[in-house]
Structures are given as C-alpha cells and as structure tokens.
Amino acid sequence: MSIIELKDVSFVYGKKTPYEITALDNVSLNIEENLITGLIGHTGSGKSTLVQLLNGLLKPSSGNVFVDGEDIWEKPKKIGQIRYKVGMVMQYPEYQLFADTVWDDIAYGPKNMKLSMEEIEHRVQKSAEFCGLDKETLSKSPFDLSGGQKRRVALAGVMAMNPKILVLDEPAAGLDPKGRREILGGIRKYREESGTSVIIVSHSMEDMAMYCDNVVVMSKARVLLNGKCEEVFSEHQLLKENGLDVPEITNIVLKLREKGINIPSNIYTVEGAVSALAQMYGSTSAVKGKEVRHGF
C-alpha cells in the first residue's frame, strides 16, 4: 500500500520574476508503507523541494499530495496535524537546536503536540535511548555536544513525535564513515522496531544500496526511475547518462564481466560481491555470519 502519493505535482520558485525556477515538473509518485525509500539525485534536481512538499512546508504550485490517502491541502488550517504525522529531519539539523538542555530540545515537538507530562517524559527517554544518548547527556546544554551528538539530538527530537512517516534530508552528510554507519544503521533499526515508513534523501549510491528497500531517482525536476534497489541499479546506462552512478562495487563487477568473468551483474553491495565470488570459487567461509544483501 502506498502511504504517500503525489499526483501531477509541480512546484515553481519565484514565479513571474527573473529568478523563476521550476523545481518539480509534473511529478507523480507513490511511496510504499513500512519500507525505507531512498531519494537520490543531483543538487538542484528537486529532491529537497519534494521532501518539503510531503509535510506541507511548501504548497505545490499545482497537483495534489496525499498522505495516508488524505489530500494534505484539503483543509489548509489542519496542516499542523500533517506535520506530526510526517516527521522531518532537515539537512544539518544540528543547527536548529535551541533549548537549555538536550531534554528540553527533544521535548519541544511532543510539547507542541500538547501531550501529557508522563507521555513526554516517556517519549524523550525512549528516543534518546534509541539515538544512543545517555541520561547524563540529557541534562547537558546541546551547544556543549560534538557535531555528531548534536545531530542525534535533533534526530531524537523528531523521533519523539512518533511520526508515521519519517523523512530525513541527508542525515549522514558531513559525518565520518563510523558516524554514517551508526546513524543510518540506527534509522534502519528504528524502522524495524517502530514500523515507521522512512524516506532518506542522499547522494551516496552505496548508502542507498545498503540501507534502502526502494529507490526514487530524480533528475531535472522529474522522477527518472522508481522501484526496488535492484531494479533501479540495473539501469546503469540510464543512470550514467544522467550524471549519476551505480555503487562502486557494481562498477567493479561490470568491469569484471567485461574481462570475461561470469559474475552476475546485479550486485550492489560489497557483501553481495563477496558471497557471489565465494560461490563461484567454491568457498563459503568468507561470508559466514554476515548479513548478505544483494539482488537475487
């Protein structure tokens, strides 16, 4: 079932000025429930605009956005309710922290929802725990934390609102590989435990292949491809024509095939490549105990 549906959505910035830009051009799109959907595309392809349409921060110039089967702009005064349903973590969310303590900052969203004190306390504890923030950190000032920790606080602040859909704009931007894995892995675990539908905007094909179920590729204000990871990455020709790429490991696999090695071409993660190669050469020890994700 699709939890978000866009119907012929267009969005134009600076209408009727010399700076007019069409950020989205007649986009129709379905996003499925309970999955992690990756949104990928060049800078200026319309990703961030699309994301802001999902919780009504922007209003489409034309077309409709349906969340959970409901047209979100049917009652413009109720748009606040949509924002509790579609939780959004913006790019570099650490710059939005403001409260005296981490606890207060995480509680800001739930407080706006007018929940009871016990419920707020419960949610803050739970989401802080989830984002790997200990009790001691909760009483610190958010401005005393490291960059990575700040980002987790921001993430926890949105998770504490228990949204049905969680949208993350470049959640791993500017983090080191370990930080990336922790944040993205944490989001994956969160989805498994809470059943939230997740949308991740990213530049990294590797991250998409590792953590997403579905991928939507944007190019020049339109949706270029939309489907399962395997389906999308199998279109390497089309992706390259549009200035995007497949994961590095897929490139290596394709090169190997060019050299006459008969390895399947639908491999998108290092683990997948390892197990395929191991199978070909009759050894299974290399992949023991590892999570194997590849396209068959």
| Residue 95 or 280 with smaller CB distance to another protein | 95
Residue 144 lies near another protein (rule: CB under 8 A): no
Q: Identify which of 45, 65, 46, 64 has the alpha carbon closest to the alpha carbon of residue 54.
A: 65
Asked whether position 109 contacts another protein by CB under 8 A, the answer is: yes
CB of 95 to another protein, least distance (A): 6
Cβ distance to another protein smaller for residue 95 or 279: 95
Which residues are bridge partners to 197 per DSSP? 165
CA distances (Å), 128 to each of 105, 107, 109, 166, 186, in order? 11, 10, 14, 16, 12
Q: Please identify which residue in 87, 247, 272, 295 interacts with another protein, judged by CB under 8 A.
A: 87
**154's tokens:** 């921001």
Q: Is 57 a binder of another protein (CB under 8 A)?
A: yes
Residue 97 lies near another protein (rule: CB under 8 A): yes
86-89, strands of its sheet edge to edge: 86-89, 165-169, 197-202, 36-41, 214-219, 222-228
| Residues between 14 and 33 that touch another protein (CB under 8 A) | 17-18
Indicate which single residue of 71, 141, 143, 286 sits in contact with another protein (rule: CB under 8 A): 143
Provide, rounded to whole angstroms, the least separation between the CB of residue 130 and another protein.
17
Q: How far is the CB of 16 from another protein (least distance, A)?
A: 8
Task: Take residue 215 and report the two structure tokens written for it.
Answer: 């991928």
For the chain, state the CA radius of gyration: 21
Q: How far is the CB of 174 from another protein (least distance, A)?
A: 14
Backbone angles phi, psi at 2, to 5 degrees: -95, 135
Continuous segment of H or E residues that includes residue 191? helix 177-194
Stretch that binds another protein, among 49-57, 174-182, 200-208, 224-232 (CB under 8 A): 49-57
Binding to another protein, residues 149-178 (CB under 8 A) = 157-158, 161
CA distances in angstroms from 101 to 3, 120, 136, 143, listed in the order given = 35, 15, 11, 9
Q: How far apart are the first and last CA of the chain?
A: 23
Judged by CB under 8 A, the stretch of 108-116, 126-134, 240-248, 251-259 that binds another protein is: 108-116
Residue pair 127/159 in contact by the 8 Å Cβ criterion: yes
Shortest CB 249 distance to another protein, Å: 35
| Count of residues that interact with another protein, criterion CB under 8 A | 26
* Window contacting another protein (CB under 8 A); options: 29-37, 38-46, 90-98, 218-226: 90-98
What does the DSSP assignment read for 112-142? HTT--HHHHHHHHHHHHHHTT--HHHHTS-G
How far apart are CB 90 and another protein at their closest, in Å? 5
Distances (CA, A) of 134 to 99, 108, 127, 144: 18, 18, 11, 15
Q: Give whichever of 60 and 109 is closer to another protein, judged by the CB atom.
A: 109
| Identity of the residue, 94 or 271, whose beta carbon is nearer to another protein in the bound complex | 94
Binding site for another protein (CB under 8 A): 17-18, 52, 55, 57, 80, 83-84, 87-88, 90-91, 93, 95-99, 108-109, 112-113, 143, 157-158, 161
